[in-house]
Amino acid sequence: MTQIISNASEMQQTAIELRAAGKRIGLVPTMGALHEGHLSLIRQIREHSDVIILSIFVNPIQFGPGEDFSQYPRTFDEDVEKCKAEGVDIIFAPEPSSFYPSDFSTYVTEEFASEGLCGTSRPGHFRGVTTVVAKLFNTCCPAVAIFGKKDAQQLAVIRRMVRDLNFPIKIIGAPIVREEDGLAMSSRNRYLSAKQRSDATAIIKALKRARTMTQQGILNTDRIISEVTHMINDTLNARVIYVVIVSPDTMKPLKEVIPGKSLIATAVSFDRVRLIDNYDL
Ligand code: AMP
């Protein structure tokens, strides 16, 4: 049985009772429009928890002006069916107006890993993410929470927030789930035209090229970034927002690839659709 809760106080009360009964709660935070990437998180967290809460909340404060908050896909009924099929115990889907009352005035900011990359191209984004995740942690009282490595910077930021603010929560990073042709699954992929969808495979091809270069002994990050940027930009419909090579823990740029400890990350826009992806080097 999958229970749906939309009221934050009811969610918190339920979570407190579950914990008092000795249950280990696992939390899967999402913005809905669930795909196989999200379902993989549910399957992985099951190993670590007695009760699974999946939250569905398109968080208004992590979208900047002119971003796709109003157009973000909302497929609640289908999401519920997928959660039932995966054995999710509770779907927490708060109403934006009740989760953020009009006089809401407290925010959580992480000030190191959230700089650069999406922190530069989406100012205020990570402040919205850390604030909503802190709220979800406090309402759902998880012992463990899982985040996808597709959002590598988000994972680094959350790990730091949990460490710095002493949240008693284990954070799991889950591998990126990809389409057959290598495109990272994303709720936003559905907005790509057929042409953009086929062009989007340039992203993973370019990231794989970066790994090949490092395997050939080319470790200079400027050289790799330049080649990857050209490969993506040569695709008719694509515009590179950034390509960086960073340490996955700090999100700080590296001058030389440290094999096994480096990540190449990119954000690419296809007209109004913004996609991100990354690859271990
Ligand atoms: P979202 O609904 O896009 O905010 O994503 C919710 C969670 O699912 C985040 O932790 C994402 O990193 C994760 N996620 C999204 N897409 C994928 C994917 N293709 N593979 C693995 N995790 C993913």
User: Cα(233) to centroid of ligand 1, in Å?
Assistant: 25
Does pLDDT of 156 surpass 80? yes
Give the HSE-up count for residue 44: Cα atoms under 13 Å, Cβ half-sphere: 19
Does pLDDT of 186 surpass 90? yes
Residue among 35, 38, 118 whose CB has most ligand 1 atoms within 8 A, to mutate: 38
Q: What is the pLDDT of residue 258?
A: 97
pLDDT band at 231 (very low <50, low <70, confident <90, very high): very high
Q: How far apart are the C-alpha atoms of 188 and 177, rounded to whole Å?
A: 14
Q: How far is CA 132 from CA 39, 109, 160, 209, in A?
A: 21, 11, 15, 36
Report pLDDT digits (tens) over 201-214: 999 999 999 999 99
Ligand 1, atom nearest to 146 Cα: 10
User: Cα(40) to centroid of ligand 1, in Å?
Assistant: 9
92: number of Cβ within 10 Å? 26
Does ligand 1 have an atom closer than 6 angstroms to the CB of 177?
yes
Report pLDDT digits (tens) over 22-80: 999 999 999 999 999 999 999 999 999 999 999 999 999 999 999 999 999 999 999 99
Does ligand 1 have an atom closer than 6 angstroms to the CB of 31?
yes
Residue among 129, 150, 161 whose CB has most ligand 1 atoms within 8 A, to mutate: 150
pLDDT band at 90 (very low <50, low <70, confident <90, very high): very high
Give the single-character DSSP code of 187. G
Does ligand 1 have an atom closer than 6 angstroms to the CB of 148?
yes
Where helices occur in 4-74 by DSSP H, the ranges are 8-20, 36-46
Catalytic residues: 38
User: How buried is residue 22: exposed, middle or buried, by Cβ count under 10 Å (0-12/13-18/19+)?
Assistant: exposed
pTM of the model: 0.98
Secondary-structure breakdown of the chain: helix, strand, coil percentages, each rounded to the nearest 5:
40, 20, 40
